[in-house]
Amino acid sequence: MTVSDLSTDTTRRARTRRFVMTAPAHFAVHYAINPWMDPTVSVDVERAIAQWEVLRRTYSDLGHTVELVEPVPGLPDMVYAANGGLVVDGHAIVANFTHPERAAEADAYFAWMSAAGWEPQRTRHHNEGQGDLLVAGTTVLAGYGFRTDRRAHDEIAGITGLPVLSLELVDPRFYHLDTALTVLTDGPTPLIAYYPPAFSDGALALLRSHFPDALIVGTADAFAFGLNAVSDGRHVLLPAAATGFAGQLRDAGFQPIGVELSELLKGGGSVKCCTLEVFS
Domain ranges within the chain, ordered by starting residue: 13-279
What's the pLDDT score for residue 74? 97
Q: Considering only CA atoms, which of 252, 228, 253 is closest in space to residue 240?
A: 228
User: Among residues 126, 153, 235, 273, which one is catalytic?
Assistant: 273
What's the pLDDT score for residue 5? 46
What's the pLDDT score for residue 7? 46
Q: Considering only CA atoms, which of 189, 179, 181, 186 is closest in space to residue 212?
A: 189
What's the pLDDT score for residue 4? 42
The alpha-helical segments, DSSP class H, found in 3-144 are: 45-61, 105-115
What is the CATH code for 13-279? 3.75.10.10
Q: Look up 126 and say whether it is catalytic.
A: no
Q: Look up 273 and say whether it is catalytic.
A: yes
The pLDDT tens digits along the chain (280 residues) read 445 444 444 589 999 999 999 999 999 999 999 999 999 999 999 999 999 999 999 999 999 999 999 999 999 999 999 999 999 999 999 999 999 999 999 999 999 999 999 999 999 999 999 999 999 999 999 999 999 999 999 999 999 999 999 999 999 999 999 999 999 999 899 999 999 999 999 999 999 999 999 999 999 999 999 999 999 999 999 999 999 999 999 999 999 999 999 999 999 999 999 999 999 8
Measured distance CA(98)–CA(100) in Å, rounded: 7
Q: Considering only CA atoms, which of 112, 145, 134, 106 is closest in space to residue 214?
A: 134
Instruction: Say if strands 235-239 and 255-259 run parallel, antiparallel, or are unpaired.
Output: parallel
User: Among residues 176, 210, 235, 274, which one is catalytic?
Assistant: 176
Instruction: Give the number of other CB atoms < 10 A from CB of residue 209.
Output: 9
Measured distance CA(205)–CA(228) in Å, rounded: 22
Tell me the CA distances in angstroms from 269 to 36, 109, 260, one per residue in order.
9, 18, 12
Question: Using an 8 Å Cβ cutoff, are 127 and 177 in contact?
Answer: no
Measured distance CA(238)–CA(246) in Å, rounded: 8
What's the pLDDT score for residue 10? 57
- DSSP character at residue 25: T
Instruction: Give the number of other CB atoms < 10 A from CB of residue 61.
Output: 12
